[in-house]
Amino acid sequence: MKVLWAPWRMEYILTDQEKGECIFCPGDDRSQDEARLILYVGSQSMVVMNRFPYINGHLLVAPVRHGPDLEFLSGEETLDLLVMVRRSIAILKKEISPEGFNVGLNLGRVAGAGVEEHVHFHIVPRWNGDTNYMTVFGEVRVIPEHIEETYHKLLPHFQEIKPRR
């Protein structure tokens, strides 16, 4: 598949392989959030931009606690995770005005999970006539806005969210 832009991809892939860290485990150091595209870390859930997006605004919402599937989550974690999915959709609606969304999760490698050891939801904004056909027929992804620009549009909205306790 051809990608129209991905100047950060090799550095990202090599950095993660060298460190052996989970991209969804935020740790306690918030100084690297922008570099890691982390928009929000609460007590139970977090939101990060997808480094390999299908389209701009592609977000990933994960529990803070590391685990592979929904059965792993407590009821409180499940509720917090779904509340963050809902809030993330509201922020995307406000800031980039998509006409719809694909929201879901891939459980297990055969289901398409790229990071199967840490469960996470995908939120993919969609517009009528967007570039979905390009990936299927042309093996090309069209990303109309640089990922850092989208990050800076969304970040102030996530900074307003107070973590549930």
pLDDT of residue 17: 47
Q: How many CB atoms lie within 10 A of CB 10?
A: 9
pLDDT of residue 157: 92
Token digits for 106?
Answer: 């891939």
* DSSP output for 68-137: SSGGGS-HHHHHHHHHHHHHHHHHHHHHH--SEEEEE---SGGGT-SSTTS--EEEEEE-TT-THHIIII
| Residue 126 half-sphere exposure toward CB, CA atoms < 13 A | 11
pLDDT of residue 97: 95
Q: What is the tens place of the pLDDT at every residue in 2-45? A: 555 555 555 545 555 445 678 888 888 899 999 999 999 999 99
The Cα-based distances of 116 to 62, 67, 89, 111, 119 in angstroms read 12, 9, 23, 9, 6
Q: Which member of 58, 66, 118, 120 is catalytic? A: 120
Any idea where the domains of the chain sit in the sequence? 36-158
pLDDT of residue 114: 75
CATH topology for the 36-158 domain: HIT family, subunit A (3.30.428)
pLDDT of residue 101: 95
pLDDT at 61 > cutoff 90: yes
120 is annotated as an active-site residue: yes
pLDDT of residue 100: 95
pLDDT at 152 > cutoff 80: yes
pLDDT of residue 88: 98
Q: What is the tens place of the pLDDT at every residue in 66-84? A: 998 889 999 999 999 999 9
Q: What is the tens place of the pLDDT at every residue in 94-149? A: 999 999 999 999 887 877 777 778 899 999 999 887 765 555 545 666 667 788 88
Burial of residue 57 (number of CB atoms within 10 Å: 0-12, 13-18, 19+): buried
